[in-house]
Structure 1
Amino acid sequence: MLLSSILKPEAVRVLSAASSKKRLFQEIGDVGFSALGLKPQATVEALLDRESLGPTGVGHGVALPHARLSTVQDVSGVFVLLEKPIDYGAVDRQPVDIAFALFAPEDAGVEHLKALALVSRTLRDQALCNKLRSNLDPVKLYTILTEPQAVQVT
């Protein structure tokens, strides 16, 4: 599995206005609607429901919000880079400025977990995250994210 199989170029954005986790989820819902055809309100509710089970802020400024949606056919993602980090309630209590949201069908088992593991491993690379943080062009962000072909889950 490659990131390019779950992330479309149009699902990569730079946000300047997100001021809270809920606002970030609303922005992700809007991107999910325009890029993937997801229903914004259902997307936000699903992300908030999942977040109530435990924080998806994994540390070092990275969050991996994820949810299962009945309207999703395949695992897909939305990547956002925040110009200004927000308090996310991450495990290391550091503000978040990188969020990769994953959406999976309700009955997705292994594929959802493989995608989550792939994204997690990719964004654990501090050099890659630094490269992402130094670019505000969504096209360049997509290229940076999808370039590392060595990071794969089979």
Structure 2
Amino acid sequence: MDLSKLLAPGAVKVLSNVTSKKRLFQDLGDIAGSIYRLDAAQTVDALQERESLGPTGVGHGVALPHARLDDLDEVVGVFLRLEKPLDFDAVDRLPVDLVFALFAPKDSGVEHLKALALVSRTMRDPETCEKLRANTDPAALHAVLTEAQSRQAA
């Protein structure tokens, strides 16, 4: 599995006006809708439904919201760097500024888990997170994420 296949360059954004988890999920739904042609409202509902099972803030300022959706053929992602960290009920109680959302087909099974593991490994790397926090250009952020996977594989 390859991060560059999961994450379209246009699905990487820097946002400055996110004030709540609900607003964040709406932004994720809008971006997933415009880049991957997903239904934005269904995407938001699926994210909120998954989040109700337990927060997806994994610590160190990182959140990995994810959802399974109908009408999706492959696992896809959206990465957001938030200019103002957001309270996310993370496991370490720290606010979140790096968000990597994954969307998988309802019946994706192991592919969804592989993608989640890949993103989790990438976002656990302190050097990668430092580079992500130091950049505000979406193209540079996409490059950092896709190059991070190459570094880890070497």
The normalised TM-score by structure 1 is: 0.96
Superposed CA offset, 1:17-74 (max 9, x none): 1101111000101110111111111000000000000110000000000000001110
Q: 1:151 is matched by which residue type in structure 2?
A: Q
Displacement over 3 Å in runs of 4+: none
Q: For the Cα contact (< 8 Å) 1:58–1:64, is it kept in 2?
A: yes
Q: 1:74 is matched by which residue type in structure 2?
A: E
Q: 1:122 is matched by which residue type in structure 2?
A: T
What's the secondary structure of 1:53's corresponding residue?
A: coil
Q: CA RMSD in A?
A: 0.8
Partner of 1:18: 18
Shift of 1:150: 3.9
List alignment gaps of at least 5 residues for structure 1: none
Query: In the comparison of the two structures, how many residue pairs are matched?
Result: 152
Percent identity over paired residues: 62
Partner of 2:118: 118
List alignment gaps of at least 5 residues for structure 2: none
Kindly report which structure 2 residues correspond to 1:96-135, keeping only aligned pairs within 5 A, or say none.
96-135=96-135
**Partner Cα separation in structure 1 for residue 103 and residue 84 of structure 2:** 24
Q: Does 1:49 align with 2:49?
A: yes
Task: Answer 1 or 2: which has greater helix percent.
Answer: 2
Shift of 1:114: 0.3
Partner of 1:136: 136
Q: For the Cα contact (< 8 Å) 1:2–1:151, is it kept in 2?
A: no
